[in-house]
Structure 1
């Protein structure tokens, strides 16, 4: 029987596949960092939360090269109850009116985790400390960014995709 010879390209592909699987298998959702290649956007979760304000997760969304950052939260909402994300940009500090919050809301909607096998599920809840998904899906996120104040002011000039891939795990 002839043995198969591994080429450097095949070895690199195997290492990349093993590395991404290992990173996602070992990383809890609360410590995951995701990126989106088209715009250089990155989502970094803030770590485990105490059950103080009902939030499942908090995260920071940043756009490489232009210094734009946005704050995100995930809470359980809707019928049926599901992880609902809200991304805010330059909201007023302290007490804010509903109109002020609406004006600084860039995106809101359900957040999905996509597994390495392509399976789609809700973003894992805080209490479970479940493994991070290989990818995140924020439906219509790119279109929402194009309607945002940051886009109108040309602070963001590259439209992000709706899918972010797992980049790293915070220690």
Structure 2
């Protein structure tokens, strides 16, 4: 499904109503968020496959961040986008501190020099074209009986290494990169 938001939610609901998933059809969503699957409920969303940059239940650091977030945000776990923004802002602040200035070019250079190793990404980096590359995750929405807690939404099927998840720098047309 190459849609997002309400369109994705409606498509998943309709696939269930028409029995497509019971008949063996597999749904793969390009822009499915944990909050979409939660809103649909596991009974409706079970089996949907998607890619996620981040999942709250990956490791101790991601779980700790997610629980702090949920305490302040209606008990909802963060999406990959919310976790990514938090990580990016913290990284930007660390780059300002490390470079000793808030001058944009110096901070950007420092950000490219630093590996991302936080609750969002392990071994991620910002390339010279400005793209943050990191591992991605292929996930599947759990069946209701597989869920251990209200936000146990996904089962991680595979990790997709950053080199495979993002277009190589050599294939880009970014004017920031001198070739």
Question: What TM-score results when the alignment is normalised by the length of structure 1?
Answer: 0.22
Give 1 or 2: higher strand fraction.
1
Select the structure with the greater relative contact order (CA < 8 A; seq sep ≥ 6). 1
